[in-house]
Amino acid sequence: MEREFYLSFEGKDARIFLQPPRPKTREIKRVSPNNLDLSSVRITNGLNALPATEETIEAMRQGDPEIDLQSIGGILDTTTRAYYDPDTKEVATSFQVYNVVLNPDGSEKERKPFTPRHQNTNHESNPVKVGKLVPRDALFRKFVISGAFQLVHADGVQYEFLHGIAKTLEDRNHAALLGAGAKGNAPLVFQENGRPMRCALTGEVEGENYKLLILLLGQELKLPADRREDA
Amino acid sequence: MKTKAISFRLGDQEISAQLQSQVKRSDLYGRTAKVVTDKDGKSLSTGVLTQEGRLLEKTQFAGLSVDETGSFNGSAQYVCDGEKVEAKPASFKEARELEKVSLDALNEFAVEAVYPIESETDLAAGLYATTFNYTQSVEPKDCLILVEEENQSYLLTGRRLEFSNVGKAVIYNLFDEGEEAEEEEDADFDFGDAF
């Protein structure tokens, strides 16, 4: 994930740094009854994938071609993803990828060719813009926060910039909505082909210290339409 | 609407409630699925190619836990700092303690699941902290319950995040290298009507 973050606030902008939350101090791990650490491996189970043909059916009458005793328990180390025809079991040498957008009820809304989503939080010319200010409490009641990053500085000028934003937000007890792209209204994409996220900025100040957090807004805090009718 | 009975303790008071089923993002906005087709439009399946060039379908391999000797018999155990950790029963089987906290606790909390909840006992509006595990677990999740007077109340499970105040000097934490990209999904809401 890109560590630099290009941010614009009230006509000034700077490339600062994203920092994740501190890791958990208490780690629970799985061990065997002998108290040895456990790790996960993938193994082959000895099943042969056969095409659904008359020849296969006939072969299964005569023997057990669906079982490959030679390959049972083989550890899979390095593998690559492959797409294949489910009927012939042949690897496809050319294919097309589509994104199918599904409605909440599972019905298809639209289908479009896959286009990669590009990271936009450290764009060469379009900073992430600090937009509308909203009451902090209202933000917490309307949206589900699914994660957060901290913005930190690397030099004195960046420190003044970030400390100033945090103080502005704290003084007003507001959060700020963030938008990426040329118009400053697109969701944020933190890494190539990453999930686009709506985000907000909150700030706190304690003397010279500050805490400026980017909150990832996973969904709205509300019931689906069909459950609202039942309620 | 099917619900599950759950109870909590706030001081000496026993609070009983009904927990509804989870509200997922896909329930609100739908989701995006990736479909791979050949040039004729026929859907293709996904498998893996081994280093030897052999194609394996998903049904042809399985995940297994092994120790350094190569395998193990019996059930895995859980330890923390060398001490064995016992599983806690599901939250529906015992009343967990509630602690009233400031709404600001949501500022440093990553929500993983959202459950609508209806309290059957009078509980003042506000935010309450507790732990929650839907099934028996060695590591119950952190949990915040947002109780509203006029609107729907929600039980939010996830984990507390920890951030430090930043002074003029900064100690950097490095991101883990090699993070995989998350499954892509359209962000089907914007801020247009929210505020």
- Separation CA B89–CA B29 (nearest Å): 33
Q: What is the pLDDT of residues B98-128, one digit of tens each?
A: 999 999 999 999 999 999 999 998 899 999 9
- Cα Rg for chain A, rounded, in angstroms? 26
Q: Is the pLDDT of residue B76 over 70?
A: yes
Q: What is the pLDDT of residues B37-62, one digit of tens each?
A: 999 999 999 999 988 888 888 888 88
Query: Is B80 in Cβ contact with A95 (below 8 Å)?
Result: no
* DSSP state letter for B40: T
Does residue A200 contact residue A212 with C-beta atoms inside 8 Å?
no
H helices within chain A, ranges in order?
54-62, 136-142, 156-172, 225-230
Burial of B101 (0-12, 13-18, 19+ CB in 10 A): middle
Chain A residue at shortest CA distance from B102: A137
Does residue A111 contact residue A94 with C-beta atoms inside 8 Å?
no
pLDDT band at A33 (very low <50, low <70, confident <90, very high): confident
User: Which member of A40, A109, A187 has the closest CB to residue B65?
Assistant: A40
Query: Is A84 in Cβ contact with B44 (below 8 Å)?
Result: yes
Following DSSP, what letter does each residue of A138-191 receive, concatenated?
HHHHHEEEEEEEEEE-SSHHHHHHHHHHHHHHHHHTEEEEEEBTTTT-BPB--S
Chain B residue at shortest CA distance from A185: B190
Q: Is the pLDDT of residue B143 over 60?
A: yes
A212 neighbourhood in chain B, CB within 8 Å: 166
- Separation CA A97–CA B78 (nearest Å): 42
- Separation CA B120–CA B110 (nearest Å): 27
Q: What is the pLDDT of residues A185-222, one digit of tens each?
A: 999 999 999 999 999 999 999 999 999 999 999 999 99
Q: Which two tokens stand for residue B22?
A: 């989870």
B79-94 in b/e burial notation, b at 16+ Cβ within 10 A? beeeeeeeebebbeee
User: Which member of A109, A194, A209 has the closest CB to residue B165?
Assistant: A209
Which pLDDT does position A231 carry in this prediction?
53
pLDDT band at B181 (very low <50, low <70, confident <90, very high): very low
As beta bridge partners, residue A5 has A16
